[in-house]
Amino acid sequence: MGAILTVLAGVGIGVFVFGRPKTIPMSEGVKNLFDLTPKASESTAIYQDESGYSFDYPDSVSVKDVTPADDNFYSSLELKKGTDTLTVKITVGNTNPYKTDKKASLIGSVPMDGITANQYSLGTRLISVAIDQGVLYVIDGPADGGFWEEIQNKILSTFKFGTADAVSAPADENTSYEEEVVE
């Protein structure tokens, strides 16, 4: 019995000493992959859609309108950089398709120009969903913990309903207004 305990103790010590992962220091010439990830805080551009919304995005990302000829779509965009794509789809809808998806995990909610967008984790994707007045807004992009998530959050935080033409410029102090009374 004592021999068995001695053997087991020896095996346990051997696994502990020799089975531990070894820490290999990074050489000076090798950079951490996270340092190579571009930041969404680079210079931005404004996307203005003819259907009546706008948002900011990094100008290093290309934006392509891919709206199908389908009356259920108001707008569909692809934002690309390299092989990664983030989509913004605005369609007719009153139902959040991710709310009942067993694979999607609700991770929070964020404001989107006066409405609330719920954010879901679905595998390697981060999906933001909002519904307002029969319109379904879905932003779907890579869940990379960095660049693409920053872009998605930038889109949500800068999203504006209405067109630039609908926003009036502030009045000049020399501007006068007359009121006409109709009786």
Q: Which of 118, 119, 116, 120 is nearest to 132 (CA)?
A: 116
Task: Report if residue 9 sits inside a domain.
Answer: no
Structural domain includes residue 158: yes
Give me Rg for the CA atoms of the chain.
Answer: 26
pLDDT at 171 over 60: no
CA 65, CA 78: separation in Å to the nearest integer? 7
Say if 173 falls within a structural domain. Answer: no
pLDDT tops 90 at residue 5: no
Number of domains in the chain: 1
DSSP 84-149: EEEEEEEEE-S--TTTS-TT-EEEEEEEETTEEEEEEEETTEEEEEEEETTEEEEEEEE--SSHHH
pLDDT at 86 over 50: yes
Q: Which domain holds residue 124?
A: 40-163
Residues 67, 103, 131, 160, CA torsion sign: negative
What CATH number should be reported for the domain holding residue 70?
Answer: 3.40.1000.10
Closest to 120 (Cα-Cα) out of 86, 143, 91: 143
- Whether 39 shows a pLDDT value over 60: the answer reads no
pLDDT of residue 42: 72
Residue 49 counted as domain residue: yes
Residue 72 lies in a domain: yes
Q: Does residue 179 lie in a domain region?
A: no
Q: Is 136 a residue whose pLDDT tops 90?
A: yes
41-68: pLDDT as tens digits: 479 999 999 888 999 999 999 999 999 9
Predicted pLDDT at 173: 46
Q: Give the global pTM.
A: 0.67
Specify the pLDDT at position 111: 94
Q: Name the token pair of 151.
A: 């872009």
Of 39-53, 89-103, 146-160, minimum mean pLDDT range: 39-53
Q: Are 121 and 105 in contact (CB under 8 A)?
A: yes
Q: What percent of the chain has pLDDT over 70?
A: 66
Report yes or no on 83 lying in a domain.
yes
